Amino acid sequence: MFAYGLLAVVLALHLRGLGFLDPAIGLMFALTLAGDTLISLYLTTRADRFGRRKTLWIGAGLMIASSVAFAISGDFWVLVLAATLGVLSPSGNEIGPFLPVEQASLSENLASEKRVGVFAWYNLAGYVAAAFGSVTGGVIAQNFGYRAVILTHGAIGVVMLCLYAFLSPQAETAEPKAASGFLGLHESKRIVLQLSGLFAIDAFAGGFVMQSLIAYWFHLRWGASEVQLGLILLFGNLFAGASALMAARIANRFGLVNTMVWTHVPSNILLILVPFMPSLGWAVAMLLLRFCLSQMDVPTRQAFVMSVVRPEERSAAGGVTNVARSIGVASSPLLLGLMMANPKLGLPLIFAGSLKIVYDLSLLTLCRRTGFGSSQQ
């Protein structure tokens, strides 16, 4: 997540510096996310049989390869190939096979009532790392250039390869099964696919407010510098991480689904208000307030998915839902040129917040209809 935070600050700016216009940058982001989606789907639906540690090794290797390509080449088609086959995160958020496999491994050794709390700390570690990655990326970019940031991203992939070598055998599933079901899913197929459809809508909306695009919008709208952008994302990720810990307490009292929905709706109202602020300071303040609420649904959503599937389906369920989100995110940047035509309007933020509210209410309706809203705590 530190590596993803590094990249979020500079990726769009690096591509613009290479001479690519907004539609080409949007296409590049879309292909990056689409490629990660396909690779993640392939790896995560086989991880419980192939081996979770081996799957994580492959993901780290792809991350290194794509970083090298982006650092040394300015050719559009080389970057398209690297974006499609590699593991890069233009959103500043988790992407690739890492999160589904890591959380399946954690769930293997956790009682269900402890998952939200552990996932909250897991996400807090990620947010804090991404936060310091963002501010570090801004400093490196200002002093050494964008390519230095991308090479640092790749170097961290090497560190990940080494760390994954120390994973315990307890990370593997105790009951691996052949993937005779659809995408490695058996009894849980219906609910996982229903949730995946809704998660894709949420992620499609989120694609318009990826951290790299938020940084780009603040740069276009208010002329914010790289260091200022890094500081905005630093505090945003810190606040998001702190909110994850609060989510565990709220979920224990009100349930997973209520926590997912009723913290997400006000955060999206705040997002809609950001473009209407009269100055950079007010816009940043509104965005940071939004960060205080926007990620409370993350550990609860992850614990919810793990709770509705069998142990041997967890990597597949995490992978399918994560891939659904990646598909949604991958579609959004194709509209980047249209949405960014007039930065003063803030159309990406307004559209994203509105669609996310539609997702929240749809999720609540589905869970109440199926009974999961009242039974899954």
CATH number where 292 lies:
1.20.1250.20
pLDDT of 373 higher than 70: no
pLDDT of 92 higher than 70: no
Average pLDDT on 298-308 reads 86
Domain span at residue 318 reads 2-167+184-375
For residues 364 and 373, the answer to whether their CB atoms sit within 8 Å is: yes
pLDDT for res 375: 44
Would you say residue 174 lies in a domain?
no
CA 209, 210, 216, 218 dihedral sign is positive
Q: What is the pLDDT of residues 197-251, one digit of tens each?
A: 999 999 899 888 888 788 888 988 998 888 888 888 888 878 887 887 888 788 8
pLDDT for res 213: 81
CA dist 26 and 334 (Å) reads: 5
Would you say residue 137 lies in a domain?
yes
Would you say residue 178 lies in a domain?
no
Would you say residue 172 lies in a domain?
no
Would you say residue 243 lies in a domain?
yes
pLDDT of 374 higher than 60: no
Would you say residue 177 lies in a domain?
no
Number of domains within the chain: 1
CA 139, 240, 244, 364 dihedral sign is negative
Would you say residue 239 lies in a domain?
yes
Average pLDDT on 182-203 reads 86
Would you say residue 112 lies in a domain?
yes
* Long-range Cβ contact pairs of 266-272 (< 8 A, separation 24 or more): 266/293, 267/292, 267/293, 267/294, 267/296, 268/294, 268/352, 268/353, 268/354, 268/356, 268/357, 268/360, 269/353, 269/357, 270/353, 271/209, 271/349, 271/352, 271/353, 271/356, 272/349, 272/350, 272/353, 272/354
How many helices (H) and strands (E) the chain has is answered by 18, 0
Q: What is the pLDDT of residues 129-161, one digit of tens each?
A: 887 888 898 889 989 989 999 999 999 999 999
